Amino acid sequence: MENLRDRESAGMPRSVHTFHIPVMGTGFSIDTALRVAKYGISSVLSLVDDTLVEQMRQFHSERAGEAYEPITNKDPDARARRITAYLNLLDRLIKRQVEALQSSAFKPGSEITRYYDLLPDSELKQYYADMLATEDSQEKEQRQQELRRRAVPGSIDANIMTTLDSELYINGVKQPREFSDAMSALRGFANSTLQSSMVLSAGMNPRLYTYLSKFEDFFPDETGFIKKKIILKVSDYRSALIQGKFLAKRGIWVSEYRIESGLNCGGHAFATKGELMGPILEEFKDNRTALVGKLHPVYVKALRAGGRTPLEKPGEVLVTVQGGIGTAGENGFLFKYYGVDSTGWGTPFLLVPEVANVDEEHLEMLAAATIDDVELSNGSPLGILYWNLRNSASERTRRRRIAEGKPGAPCPKSHAVTNTEFTDIPICTSSRAYQKQKLEHLDKEGWSETQLKVVKEDILAKACICHELGGSVKIINGIEPDAQPTICCGPGIADFSKIASLEEMVSHIYGRISLITNVNRSHMFIQELKIYIENLRKELERYSLGLSARTPVYLREFKDNLLEGIEYYRRLGKQYIREQKTRFLDDLNRLQEELQDLPSAVLVSSGS
């Protein structure tokens, strides 16, 4: 156990699991930490919806027998204070859970036994097995005391989607910028008692990143320990380097780069220019040491300029990956070949009621879902592609409003207000106020009949996700029984149909059992490639209609990157892929033909 103690004394993570549960919507993982952190599993909650955060604080305070003092919209700095109060509540409750777990008996069905039974094969798991096999009572007791100490919780991490940074208006007056959505959420996290990580996603927000340096918890102490770490969710190496350097110049170290598939994920999808996960991971694998080497001198200089004494050696930098992972074989390959430190499993956990908040109606829908039941839509008011369950209550309500001639949704929370086309104060493109005016102005914009049909579909597709993504948890907990949930599962939901326990899903991840029910499932790399080819097809259709902002150069680069990715996968498949190798290579050949057959003169370069 000595090397584990060394890691602990150096302030390094004491992760006992090799997977994490990413943020899922605003409500699906909002209290997941209360279910899994005590078992050493890290998870991420969203800080978008502070109204929901406050409702969950009331719910869990009352359930735990704690006094609850409401923080209303009229209170000063309400958004930040709500987030701080909820995170502090989670911190307190989980610490109590861990204390109870550590003091429970080592017997079948106990919490501490469940903790160790869930673990993957590891040094710690072997130590536990040795304890069980020990017959000497004194040695057994000593080992049990060590195992109690080693039963540490998973991290209670929080996510800020940096593009969701609406300004705060009070009585029509714009408030100072530190009261914007993202900056208030950051302040709420920074002022909490948590020792965990902030996950920043959706690209760089310079004013938010600069604001990080206002809070002491993001800086290292004299031992190098950082109480609140930064995780950057990135889609490629270049983004990691640019964002990492921006933060390093402000004395902020990125402790983890969380690579997510551009399109094969849940929720919002940020397409790369045809750059696929495999080649992106390869670039990180080849440049991981160089990345740290480039950033550390910048970081040291910034710390010294701020009057801080940096350590000579760089802090730990983890590289993790998520998006579309479905089998233990794929999971293991990511560790073995690319050397990642952890993998993220999101969508499959939507089928685990003791982990994620999905109401009964939608849980049954998810269990029965096929690939045709999910779509990569224009449903997000942020103008970003978005994975959506086609027949969710939210979608049915959206279509009913359109049929009744009343398109658009109420806008109760205003977290996605970005449009000033018709108003001085920004409004949301999914709102009734916006859609009514936009539809009335379409005839003046000179669209052809074909263009008008597509433009109108785009307008009407927008859904009120900042409110409706929290619908399931409100139904489950009786907060809003008639809520109309949006469900943001990824396409991987089609591979699973069993409503599972935590033990079953963890065992699936670690290869002890398999929960895959789709016998025709493609490899995760193939599935991502399919989605990218379909995305390019749609981009070409929009371009041909004069509705795309993409240039011919962009579209050709997109195709070229996909072709390069196919060649990379062909080499990889021949040498390293073991799971369904023949099918993997056959799928590559078929998809290459599909890509080459895409009908567009735009894709034929002048040099061809």
Instruction: Dump pLDDT digits (tens) for 460-504.
Output: 999 888 888 999 999 999 999 999 999 999 999 999 999 999 999
Alpha carbons 333 and 316: distance in angstroms, whole number: 23
Please tell me the predicted confidence (pLDDT) of residue 426.
85
Rounded to an integer, the average pLDDT of 551-577 is 94
**pLDDT confidence of 607, banded at 50, 70, 90?**
very low
Give the residue-averaged pLDDT of 215-228.
Answer: 95
Using one digit for the tens of pLDDT, what is the confidence trace for 165-192?
888 788 888 889 999 999 999 999 999 9
Q: Which helix (H) or strand (E) holds 284?
A: helix 277-305
The answer to whether 374 and 491 have CB atoms below 8 angstroms apart is yes
- Band the pLDDT of 602: cuts 50, 70, 90: confident
Average model confidence (pLDDT) across the chain: 93
pLDDT of residue 572: 94
Q: What is the mean pLDDT of residues 228-240?
A: 96
**Contact indicator for 236, 279 with CB cutoff of 8 Å:** no
- Range with the poorest average pLDDT among 237-241, 462-466, 522-526, 553-557: 462-466
480 secondary structure, DSSP code: -
Residue 16, pLDDT > 80, answer yes
Q: Within 10 A of 305 (CB to CB), how many other CB atoms are there? A: 11
144-148, 235-239, 413-417: the lowest-pLDDT one: 413-417
Nearest one of 145, 158, 252 to 196, comparing CA atoms? 158
- List the alpha helices (DSSP H) in 444-523: 449-461, 465-468, 471-476, 502-509
What's the CA gap between 182 and 382, in Å, rounded? Answer: 15
d(CA 269, CA 284): 21
pTM above 0.75, yes or no: yes
CA-closest candidate to residue 497, choices 328, 368, 349 = 368
pLDDT at 599 over 90: no
Q: State the Cα–Cα distance between residues 42 and 19, nearest whole angstrom.
A: 8
Query: Cβ-count burial of 555 within 10 angstroms (0-12 exposed, 13-18 middle, 19+ buried)?
Result: buried
Q: How far is CA 121 from the centre of its chain?
A: 26
What digits encode the pLDDT tens for the residues 366-406?
Answer: 999 999 999 999 988 888 999 999 999 999 999 999 999 99
Using the 8-state DSSP alphabet, how is residue 556 labeled? Answer: H
When pLDDT is cut at 50, 70 and 90, the band that residue 605 belongs to is: low
Q: Look at residue 608 and tell me whether its pLDDT is greater than 50.
A: no
The predicted structure's pLDDT at residue 145: 98
* CA 159, 160, 164, 166 torsion-angle sign: positive
Q: How far apart are CA 252 and CA 164, in angstroms?
A: 22
- Centre a 10 Å sphere on the Cβ of residue 450 and count the other Cβ atoms it contains: 12
What's the pLDDT at 425?
87
**10 phi/psi in degrees, rounded to 5:** -85, 5
Q: Which residues contact 477 (CB under 8 A, 6 or more apart)?
A: 56, 59
The DSSP 8-state label assigned to residue 155 in this structure reads P
Q: Cβ-count burial of 85 within 10 angstroms (0-12 exposed, 13-18 middle, 19+ buried)? A: buried
Task: Average the pLDDT over 343-349 and give the result.
Answer: 98
Q: Which residues, at least 6 apart from 117, have a Cβ–Cβ distance to it below 8 Å?
A: 503
Per DSSP, 573 falls in state H
